[in-house]
Structure 1
Amino acid sequence: MTNQATVKKITIKEVAKDAGVSVAAVSKVIRNAYGVSPALRKKVELSIKVLGYRPNTSARGMRGKTFTIGVLIAGLGNAYLPKLLEKINATIEKSDFKMLIGLGQGELSIESSLIESMIDNNVDGLILVAPRLSGTALEKYAKQIPMTVIGHVEDTAVSFDTINGDDYLGAQLATKALINTGVENVKMISLLLREFDEFDLNRERERGFLATLKEANISNGAEDRIFRSSDNEEQLRKDLNLFLDDIKTPCAIFCWSDIHAVPLLDECQKRHLVPQKDVFIIGYDNTPIASYAVVNLSSIDQQAEVQGELAADAILERIKGRSEAKHCQVAPTLIARKTH
């Protein structure tokens, strides 16, 4: 028998061991993933060069679909999410895909880690719901994997699709309804500004609010009419009480979300402020709790199910090969119960 010399193929595990890092870290460097530090890249690239590692690109291209779609959500606190997620799941299941949910907890580092983990686990596409990441970061990830984003108002993005409600119009509908009560002391409770907020849907709601005040000729000191609060439950209650300590009644209040509107209504009731006399409140998202008789809150319905179906259809099209960006906007409606 003739002995034949064999050349041992270097594996990604050996590169990781030589560099003293994880396999996932090596994968990120190879994929040019977002968030890799220069020091980590230099260390891994040196090990690749010394060991002579060559990624098996042909195997990577032949791996085929996993029939999974990753869905990243910022948190579980918004009751708007269940209808959205249910519709996404129902739509992709018709094409034999399954949904994997990642919880970003509103942290940039966690969101980035989850996206990279989903990419490493070969999901076929990603749907991101109200991500905290910047447009630049989203573009970088979208060049690695098909991506659709909900709640990120960037209709100029070229590498990923966006699905949004018309938040500017929604704010207009709410603000006009409050102005029609005859109350001139109209205010908005919004979220605290973030580092990357240029394409945040809440900025669109603020713009719609301010524009409507201007149209009604009650825009003097308009910026002062916006009160920004945390979405942390404990801090929110403190912020709302500070807000109520300072308001003059009667007051009409547009809340960026039912997340703020329902606790605000609760705090008003503790202070014996009379609905439709002392305070008028309209929320956003038309979450199930808004329709409860004890709450009975008017709210803007941004058609969660429609957005979910559009997002699912968009990511399936991306997976099938569509490369041109698609940007969809869904018209909201005002669900008028009583303007509390």
Structure 2
Amino acid sequence: MQIEKTMKKVTIKDVAKDAEVSVAAVSKVIRSAYGVSPSLKEKVEKSIKKLGYRPNTSARGMRGRTFTVGVLIVNLGNAYLPKLLEKINATLSISGYKMLIGLGQSELSIESSLIESMMDSNVDGLILIAPRLSDSALEKYAKQIPMAVVGHIENTATSFDTINGDDFLGAELATQALVETGIKNIKMISQPLREFNKVDLNQERERGFLHTLTKANHNDVAEDRIFRVSNNEDELKKELALFLDEQTLPCAIFCWSDIHAIPLLDECIKRQLTPQKDVFIIGYDNTPLASYAMVNLSSIDQQAEQQGELAANALLERIKGRNTAKHLLVEPSLISRKSH
């Protein structure tokens, strides 16, 4: 009986062994993944040709784009996010892309896990919004996938794009408006400092705040002008109450975010303090709630929609092949609201 000899099918492992690279590296070359060096591509393609390797149908399907983009947000508590996300989604949709959202919950391990899961799902790129990750961690991921970052001021980054409001200018606008009230007791409410990151948005806003006071000849400018509060909602209320207990009226207060300004305004009203007489408050983000008649809060508008459009377009450019970094600043404006 004649036995037919069959040729053993060449696998991706065979290609990896011949090219002396990992299976993951071969997979990246096959699907034209972002960040593959010309030398790696040449080496793998040489082995593929030599061995006559033919990717299976699913592997071939991985070559093209998935037309999905992963978007990572820290939490859902900031009312600034909806306009930003809506504009990102609308801009991506024009180019046929869909947006997948991951919620980092302000935890570094969760952020890292979500980014890696999105990459494993073969999204074509990532947009990170106010990530808590360190500069080195962002750089590591950006070398593997096209990435744009909103709310992270690092204009020296070379592997990813950044899109931010001009937070220094926004703080200047808010503080100058408070200086013009003639009140000497001007304070800022800010967040806890993050040890490993020197370019957080809150630090830019603090610099703008202190710089403006110095220009206005407030000679007692010092760090005790800045009152730091917790991000925990229950703790925040207690801390804001303590802050008001210590103030000499009238006082003028620049809040890092409307998230802080609105609860502070609420506490003032409970104490029967008159807005824009006993207390002058300016927030940041110009969230929808700030414009409500019962709130009527002056706030810095950092143009969320413009930032969202710029972030989406920057990422699309990177997906198409641009590899030089862009660092974009959007000019904010003060939305002044007078009390009735």
State the TM-score bracket (shorter-chain normalisation).
0.7 to 0.9
Once structures 1 and 2 are overlaid, which stretch shifts more, 328-337 or 55-64?
55-64
Distance, in Å, in 1 between the alignment partners of 2:317 and 2:93 is 14
Distance, in Å, in 1 between the alignment partners of 2:107 and 2:193 is 14
Distance, in Å, in 1 between the alignment partners of 2:258 and 2:323 is 36
Q: Check whether the contact 1:66–1:122 (CA below 8 A) recurs between aligned residues.
A: yes
The answer for the alignment partner of 1:239 in structure 2 is 239
Distance, in Å, in 2 between the alignment partners of 1:209 and 1:54 is 53
Q: Check whether the contact 2:284–2:299 (CA below 8 A) recurs between aligned residues.
A: yes
The answer for the alignment partner of 1:140 in structure 2 is 140
2:23 counterpart SS class: coil
1:31-71 CA deviation, whole Å, 9 max, x = no partner? xxxxxxxxxxxxxxxxx9xxx97344343335210000000
Structure 2 residues without counterparts, runs of 5 or longer: 33-59
The answer for the alignment partner of 1:60 in structure 2 is 31
2:210 aligned with 1:206, yes or no? no
Relative to the length of structure 2, the TM-score reads 0.85
Distance, in Å, in 2 between the alignment partners of 1:209 and 1:123 is 40
Aligned residue pairs, count:
302
Superposed displacement of residue 275, structure 1: 1.2
Once structures 1 and 2 are overlaid, which stretch shifts more, 265-274 or 297-306?
265-274
2:165 aligned with 1:171, yes or no? no
Go from structure 1 to structure 2 and tell me whether the alpha carbon gap of 1:215 and 1:221 turns closer, same or farther (over 3 Å shift). closer
Q: Check whether the contact 2:298–2:335 (CA below 8 A) recurs between aligned residues.
A: yes
Q: Check whether the contact 1:146–1:160 (CA below 8 A) recurs between aligned residues.
A: yes
Greater gyration radius: 2
The answer for the alignment partner of 2:85 in structure 1 is 85
Structure 1 residues without counterparts, runs of 5 or longer: 12-29, 31-47
Q: Check whether the contact 1:72–1:102 (CA below 8 A) recurs between aligned residues.
A: yes
Distance, in Å, in 2 between the alignment partners of 1:113 and 1:6 is 38
Superposed displacement of residue 238, structure 1: 1.3
Distance, in Å, in 2 between the alignment partners of 1:140 and 1:272 is 52
Go from structure 1 to structure 2 and tell me whether the alpha carbon gap of 1:219 and 1:231 turns closer, same or farther (over 3 Å shift). farther
The answer for the alignment partner of 1:184 in structure 2 is 184
Distance, in Å, in 2 between the alignment partners of 1:280 and 1:331 is 24
Go from structure 1 to structure 2 and tell me whether the alpha carbon gap of 1:215 and 1:125 turns closer, same or farther (over 3 Å shift). same
The answer for the alignment partner of 2:6 in structure 1 is 4
Superposed displacement of residue 221, structure 1: 4.2
The answer for the alignment partner of 1:322 in structure 2 is 322
2:324 counterpart SS class: coil
Q: Check whether the contact 2:135–2:197 (CA below 8 A) recurs between aligned residues.
A: no
Q: Check whether the contact 2:210–2:221 (CA below 8 A) recurs between aligned residues.
A: no
Distance, in Å, in 2 between the alignment partners of 1:152 and 1:250 is 35
Relative to the length of structure 1, the TM-score reads 0.85
Superposed displacement of residue 241, structure 1: 1.1
Superposed displacement of residue 197, structure 1: 2.9
Go from structure 1 to structure 2 and tell me whether the alpha carbon gap of 1:336 and 1:114 turns closer, same or farther (over 3 Å shift). same
2:189 aligned with 1:220, yes or no? no
Superposed displacement of residue 232, structure 1: 1.6
Superposed displacement of residue 271, structure 1: 1.2
1:138-167 CA deviation, whole Å, 9 max, x = no partner? 011100000000000111110000000000
1:157 counterpart SS class: coil
Distance, in Å, in 1 between the alignment partners of 2:75 and 2:276 is 33
1:6 counterpart SS class: coil
2:305 counterpart SS class: helix
Q: What do you get for the CA RMSD once the two structures are aligned?
A: 1.9
Superposed displacement of residue 88, structure 1: 0.4
1:190-234 CA deviation, whole Å, 9 max, x = no partner? 001113331211110000000000001114142110001112211
The answer for the alignment partner of 2:255 in structure 1 is 255
Superposed displacement of residue 277, structure 1: 1.5
